[in-house]
Every structure is written in structure tokens, then in C-alpha cells.
Structure 1
């Protein structure tokens, strides 16, 4: 995955520079190495022009939540900017596994055995091994994706048996409540499962997430503006 060090070409002000500065400060407060957090710019629903404006500032890692939308935007962007890295951050249907493996570089939303099996088969067929996060329904919310906490150990056993390269856990805490306890719980679950990567934190709570150990944060509206 990309190790980003574009500070020399980032403008001295603006949303991207402000977010990078906040990440750096949060890493420092937590006693973490500088640049140990990957910033994923969530570009769903955003036009190519808005994405290219961030690329021009040195942002190379993007996230989309729909296979079709990514396929419409990113092949041409990749042709013009070979260093781009694309993360799948939305719910994924098993029948889209082949397309997802073809389009993306990292998958954040493995949440059930059938999807793990489909992705493993698609990776084998394509000859590509994509790092994966298992998504956990950290707040036990029926309307959200993610496996139940109680199902996490079994899902990891099955994913690993399939050869799926699981590197960490992902979660979206409940809205309108303090995120820190949910981030701390995800971090504990990851440690207990022998995983060291955490995809957590969005526009409103990414600083808290970084201080608790997020290795990947997913920022949309703070970079691009409200949808």
C-alpha cells in the first residue's frame, strides 16, 4: 500500500493540508511514528475533476463504495496517474467479487463467509492478492453491514483457511455518539485476533481514531464538501 509523503507539494492551506496536519498532530500525541496513518479520500459520488484536484495536491489513495462507480471513473484516472491506489469501502455483493478484484487494490468490507469465499476464488483466478479488512458491526446495528462481534473469530478462521490475506479490522461506529469506546473495542478485537491494521475514523472523528490506533482513516466530506 502507498506510503504517502507529499507534504512538499501540498498547498500551505486548504482541507487536505489541514487534515494532514491534524493527522500528524494526533500521531504525535499518541506517540506514534509520523506518517503511520493512511489517509483514504472517499470519492464516492464525486466527479473526476474533484478527484484530480486532490491528485494534483499529492493525494494518491482513494476509496469508493460501489464497483460500478469505480469502474466508470478510475481506469482513465489510473492511466493518467499510475501511482493511484483504490480501496473498496462499501458493502460488496458476492457476485461482484470478480469485478472488485479487478478494480480495487484493498477491500475493507469482508463481512461473511460467502463473500470471503467469492473473493478468494476471484483473487486466485485473477492472480492478484488484495489485502482485506474484516468489517465488524461494532455497534450491533441491524441496518449496518459487518459481522457480529461474536461471529468474528469463526469468520477469520474461515477467511484464513481460504487463503484470504486479512490484514485488519474495519468498523463504522454508531452515529451521534462518542466514537472513542467503539474505536477502543475494535483495537482490542484486532489485538486479540493477531491483527495490527485498523480501518476506522471518518471526517468527524478521525483525530480520535488516530490517537486510538487507526492505520487507515476514511475521509469524504471534510475533503470534498457535503454531498
Structure 2
């Protein structure tokens, strides 16, 4: 059975190879190890292997794991990458270093209020529905400019970049390319795109963060119900 340490090394090697092909410095790409549904012991194993950047989908799960680990790992960084309900905004602000799923005006207002109450301002990424898929969350590509203005000028939010999940079918490269062009036009320097199956393509198109879970932690059954 492959250990988490071995899996991390394998993914880092693949990131380095993809960067070499793209003519990029491997240090320009951050691996977000997505630990959703995996126990705190798995995160601790990754920390022991020297990895410190993690992603979680659910605020409640993040709250159960990461406060236990932060005291002994002050360099730990947590990204919330899943859909975020407005009534969870304060919890999200309390636990996360980066929230990648800012996707609607109501959530922007809730995060601004939560940041003021908590005295903490996580960095934020706008989630873009780059494939305009009706079943997916995210701002329509044509609405990103106005939404960014609302987040910054009305709510004073620290928006640093964009995130997307491209359509499962077809070549993701054009979607990643469109995201990179959008980020460049808006002067945003963080671009979270690419997962276990397509992160090398994302790196070729300019991703600064790639989100990899299964290839590091393996499969884990979701709880029933």
C-alpha cells in the first residue's frame, strides 16, 4: 500500500515535470492536498511528511480537524474549496486561511460581516463557472468584473484570484486558458485550477494552485445518508 509520503512525492515530481515542460519554476505552483472525508490522522501523516497546505470542502469537517493540528504546526494553511452557505460564513472565516468558493453577492456580504466580527480576513478566490454549467456553482464569466468590484469596493474583501472546475467532459485546456486570461486582465495573481486528473494541463495554462486529493490520500467511502 502506497504511503501518503510516497504519494506526495509522486505528485510533487509530476508537478515539477509539468513545470519543466511549461518553462515554469516548480515553486510557482502550490499543491493543495485535499483531505476531505479523510481523518485527522491522514492530515497529520501528510504534515509529518513536510506538507502544509490542505483543502477541505465542508466547514464542519475543517473545524473538527484543523484546530487540533494548528498549535504544533503554525505554518499549516487551510483552503476551503467547497460550496459555502452564508450561515457558515463566520465559521469559515474563523478556520480558513483561503476561501476559494466566493460565488455570489449574498456570500460576499456575509463574509465581510463575519470578517469584521472575527477580526480575521482570509484571502478569497472567486469561483467562476467557466463552462457555464447549470448544475455548478460559480459566477458567470461575463459577470466576474462587476462581482470583483462589488467584493472589493462595497465589502472591502481581500480577493486575490480565481478558481474553477472545468466541465468533466472534453479538453479542459481551453477553459484553463480562458481563466488565465481573465486573471491577467483583472490583475489577479492566484489561479486555482486543476485536480487529480488534469492538474498537469492546468499548470501548462498558468495555474498557481492545484487541488489534489485522491492521488494523495486514496479513496475513502463517504458516510451513508
- TM-score above 0.5, yes or no: yes
Name the TM-score class by shorter chain.
over 0.9
The C-alpha deviation readout for 1:165-189, integer Å capped at 9, x for no partner, is 1111100001132111110011111
Take 1:223 and 1:186, find their aligned partners in 2: how far apart are those partners? 26
- Kindly report which structure 2 residues correspond to 1:189-204, keeping only aligned pairs within 5 A, or say none: 189-204=182-197
Alignment of 1:35 onto 2:23:
no
| Cα distance, 1:22 vs structure 2 | 1.0
Take 1:201 and 1:30, find their aligned partners in 2: how far apart are those partners? 15
- Kindly report which structure 2 residues correspond to 1:80-119, keeping only aligned pairs within 5 A, or say none: 80-119=72-111
| Cα distance, 1:82 vs structure 2 | 2.3
| Cα distance, 1:221 vs structure 2 | 0.5
Alignment of 1:150 onto 2:115:
no
Could you tell me which residue of structure 2 aligns to residue 125 of structure 1? Answer: 117
Take 1:198 and 1:15, find their aligned partners in 2: how far apart are those partners? 24
| Cα distance, 1:197 vs structure 2 | 1.2
| Cα distance, 1:132 vs structure 2 | 0.6
RMSD: 1.3
Take 1:171 and 1:51, find their aligned partners in 2: how far apart are those partners? 24
| Cα distance, 1:79 vs structure 2 | 2.4
- Kindly report which structure 2 residues correspond to 1:3-18, keeping only aligned pairs within 5 A, or say none: 14-18=6-10
Aligned residue among 46, 51, 67 for 2:59:
67
Take 2:26 and 2:91, find their aligned partners in 1: how far apart are those partners? 35
Take 2:121 and 2:44, find their aligned partners in 1: how far apart are those partners? 27
Alignment of 1:140 onto 2:136:
no
In structure 1, the residue corresponding to 2:126 is in which secondary structure?
A: strand
Take 1:129 and 1:55, find their aligned partners in 2: how far apart are those partners? 24
Aligned residue among 198, 203, 218 for 1:205:
198
| Cα distance, 1:146 vs structure 2 | 0.5
| Cα distance, 1:226 vs structure 2 | 2.1
Equivalent pairs counted in the alignment come to 216
Alignment of 1:26 onto 2:18:
yes
Take 2:71 and 2:183, find their aligned partners in 1: how far apart are those partners? 36
| Cα distance, 1:33 vs structure 2 | 2.1
Take 1:117 and 1:208, find their aligned partners in 2: how far apart are those partners? 34
